Amino acid sequence: MSAEALENLTNPEAQRAAARSRAYAALAQAFEYPDAELCDASRSGELEKALRGILEAVDPGLCEDADWEALADPGEGDDLAVEFTRLFDVGASGPPCPLYGGLYGGARMKNMEEAVRFYNHFGLTLSESPRELPDHVTTELEFLHFLCYREAETIESGQDPDAYRRAQRDFITRHPGRWIPLLRKRLESENPMRFFLELVRRIESLLALDRAYLVGLVGPVPDKASGGSPSATAGGGGPGRSIVPPPGNDPH
């Protein structure tokens, strides 16, 4: 099933999964290093309008407390790029707000190895260019984009989607759902440009809503997860630029 096919789904549950897939993809793209194109989209209001529509399609509640003006204010010139570097890229002992989940408590190598097991289980590998580590925020969001895409595909074809739902629930719980709230707290202490704080707040809200939705469908995460192993079997499809899909359908 192609990305275009996601626009013509007939099953309401598949439509919701497709909306969630688009939301994860859009937020991952918005959190890449800010170039002129992103800044122009922000200043014109195009970015705010697009994200608002995408999140409302998932659940209108995701937009109720949003600071949309922040997403339409990238500052002057290269302000946004300079702020991105200050917050996420540099610092005497590392950046104040790293975008790598393994740096927020626990053993980072173990965290990355677990994330890679999730990706490999679905036939995915990390892209060589651009190269991001497995615990980077964009890599993790793109993986959720992929899982939601496969969920929509599975539902539309009349098959059981619960394996993909369990994988999403487990991954959110063990990875971005665990550390994105900690990233948001660090950002708040750094007097950041509102643009980045609002992006992180939208990601945090989507993850919390999604986890609750998935728990309602397939139950809570088992008390003793089996070493971070995904709860589904692999198959085609494809996520964003940080992850390379196996041969098959590509949602882009």
Residue 2 has pLDDT above 70, yes or no: no
Mean pLDDT of the chain: 89
| pLDDT at residue number 95 | 95
Residue 19 has pLDDT above 60, yes or no: yes
Q: How far apart are CA 156 and CA 80, in angstroms?
A: 41
Tell me the CB-side half-sphere exposure of residue 170, using CA atoms within 13 A: 23
Q: Once rounded to an integer, what is the mean pLDDT over residues 233-243?
A: 48
Indicate the pTM of the whole model: 0.90
- Residue 100, strand partner residues: 136
How high is the pLDDT of residue 77?
94
User: Would you state the pLDDT for residue 91?
Assistant: 73
At 226-235, the pLDDT tens digits run 455 565 433 4
Using pLDDT thresholds of 50, 70 and 90, give the confidence band for residue 8. confident
> What is the reported pLDDT for 90?
84
Whole-angstrom distance, CA of residue 57 vs CA of residue 211:
17
Question: Percentage of the chain surpassing pLDDT 90?
Answer: 78
pLDDT tens track for 86-95:
999 987 778 9
| pLDDT at residue 238 in the model | 45
**What pLDDT shows up at residue 93?**
79
Mind listing the pLDDT tens digit for each residue in 70-111? 999 999 999 999 999 999 998 777 899 999 999 998 789 999
pLDDT single digits (tens) 59-73: 999 999 999 999 999
Q: Which residue stretches of 44-78 are H helix?
A: 46-58, 68-71
CB proximity list for 132: less than 8 A, separation 6 or greater: 126, 138, 139, 242
Q: For position 127, what pLDDT does the model report?
A: 82
Domains and CATH numbers, the chain: 4-244 (1.10.3480.10)
